[in-house]
């Protein structure tokens, strides 16, 4: 039996695909653990910081495992394969579209044709699974290279998604997170769409909890929001990338909605589900963003009932239109704007948590105890702790939220 290890950086989609790679290797007699002969590094390149983490991880892997051969896959390797091929210890590089071909390479088998879409889901976590339902993106935002690395939008079929969900449920997992580059674009080019998929999942009723990962605001329809509001299976938890609260900047980013359209979606969610979690992404310091335009973003978010934000300083990416804009914002200004938005996010999160104090909500209890406490997430994505009791592990329990605090 040969040993391997796999390290994953980046999004939930990457984690689901790493799980698929690991499952195929294990099915062919390889063992994950021990002293590895082969190490797979699944990379991310969404920002300069992500690329730096990939470089640091590759160096650490080689330093800790000097005799292991490294195979690199993912978005970074799709964008800069020649660079990665020169890294010490790296013997082969695969991109995003053909990353599953790394299994044939490791097994020394004849390469199989790579389908336009390959499904994947994780099972290493006993409580939840990340299930890939979509890949690629047709949006081409001016700051983003993901569409370059991942290619055009493509999807699984409803039939196969339901089959995978049943397999996940049969393994004892209680929650699935539907993942993709652009989940809202599920079914693009076919007669299927995300609403039809969600209705089919609700009808199947195989799992207790289903979450929708990040979804573009223009693709989150009122029908989907209403379906989530009335279904006990679909969790009241939304992640809506905003990126900017100023229409001029949104247009420069090539986003496909206005601030008013975004606000309308958030307000409808909160009207139908007052305790729903609504998270968003924000970019601080997009090229050409004036102080006045940043203040528009800040006050837009301040007034909107957002639960918390993921804040990113703008990162210049080669091969993008935004990289060519002359009015680049200084690193100092980007840091100042990022810090202000993070402070606002912390205040938003505390207010959201405090709103739920005294409520009893269903919690999926996880398996890793810390200091005689078990942890889990409510349906609306609040992380709570309960006293250690092994009988609670991997069960859904009613938990009364007594006291909330933000851990920075």
Q: Where are the domains of the chain?
A: 3-107, 120-355, 360-400
User: Cα(262)–Cα(242) distance, rounded to whole angstroms?
Assistant: 8
Q: Is 394 left (phi over 0), alpha (psi -120 to 50) or beta?
A: left
Fold of 3-107: Rossmann fold (3.40.50)
Asked whether 359 and 401 are in contact (CB, 8 A), the reply is: yes
The CATH class of 120-355 is alpha beta
pLDDT tens track for 285-297: 999 999 999 999 9
Q: What is the pLDDT of residue 367?
A: 77
Asked whether 87 and 63 are in contact (CB, 8 A), the reply is: no
Tell if the pTM clears 0.85, that is, is over it.
yes
pLDDT in tens, the chain (408 residues): 799 999 999 999 999 999 999 999 999 999 999 999 999 999 999 999 999 999 999 999 999 999 999 999 999 999 999 999 999 999 999 999 999 999 999 999 998 888 899 999 998 777 899 999 999 999 999 999 999 999 999 999 999 999 999 999 999 999 999 999 999 999 999 999 999 999 999 999 999 999 999 999 999 999 999 999 999 999 999 999 999 999 999 999 999 999 999 999 999 999 999 999 999 999 999 999 999 999 999 999 999 999 999 999 999 999 999 999 999 999 999 999 999 999 999 999 999 999 999 999 999 999 778 889 999 999 999 999 999 999 999 999 999 999 887 766
Residues with Cβ within 8 Å of residue 90, at least 6 apart in sequence:
58, 70, 71, 72, 84
Residues with Cβ within 8 Å of residue 60, at least 6 apart in sequence:
none
């Amino acid at each position: 039996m040969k040993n391997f290890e796999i390290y994953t950086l980046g999004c939930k989609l990457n984690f689901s695909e790493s799980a698929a790679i690991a499952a195929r290797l294990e099915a062919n007699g390889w063992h994950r653990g021990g002293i590895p002969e082969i190490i797979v590094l699944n990379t991310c390149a969404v920002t300069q910081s992500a690329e730096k983490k990939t470089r640091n991880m590759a160096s650490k892997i080689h330093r800790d495992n000097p005799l292991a051969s490294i195979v690199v896959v993912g978005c970074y390797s799709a964008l800069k394969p020649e660079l990665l091929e020169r890294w010490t210890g790296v013997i082969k590089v695969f991109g995003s579209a053909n990353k599953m071909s790394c299994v044939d390479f490791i097994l020394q088998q004849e390469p199989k044709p790579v389908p336009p879409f390959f499904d994947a889901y994780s099972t290493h976590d006993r409580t939840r699974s990340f299930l890939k339902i979509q890949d690629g993106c047709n949006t081409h935002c001016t700051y983003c290279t993901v569409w370059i690395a991942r290619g055009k939008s493509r999807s699984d079929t409803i039939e196969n998604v339901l089959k995978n969900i049943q397999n996940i449920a049969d393994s004892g997992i209680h929650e699935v997170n539907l993942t993709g580059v652009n989940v809202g674009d599920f079914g693009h080019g076919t007669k299927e769409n995300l609403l039809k998929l969600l209705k089919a999942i609700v009808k199947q009723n195989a799992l207790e909890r289903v979450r929708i990962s990040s979804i573009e605001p223009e693709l989150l329809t009122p029908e989907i929001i209403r379906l989530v509001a009335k279904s006990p299976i679909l969790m009241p938890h939304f992640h809506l990338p905003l990126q900017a609260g100023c229409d001029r900047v949104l247009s420069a980013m090539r986003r496909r909605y206005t601030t008013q359209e975004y606000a309308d979606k958030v307000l409808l969610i909160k009207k139908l589900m007052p305790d729903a979690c609504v998270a968003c992404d924000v970019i601080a310091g997009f090229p050409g963003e004036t102080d006045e335009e940043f203040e528009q973003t800040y006050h837009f978010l301040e007034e909107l009932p957002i639960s918390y934000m993921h804040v990113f300083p703008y990162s210049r990416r080669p091969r993008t239109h935004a990289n060519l804009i002359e009015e680049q914002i200084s690193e100092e200004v980007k840091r100042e704007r990022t810090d202000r938005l993070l402070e606002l996010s912390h205040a938003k999160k505390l207010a959201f948590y405090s709103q739920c104090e005294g409520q009893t909500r269903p919690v999926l209890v996880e398996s890793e105890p810390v200091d005689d406490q078990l942890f889990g997430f409510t349906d609306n994505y609040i992380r709570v702790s309960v006293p250690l009791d092994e009988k609670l592990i991997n069960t859904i329990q009613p938990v009364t939220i007594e006291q909330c605090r933000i851990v920075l």
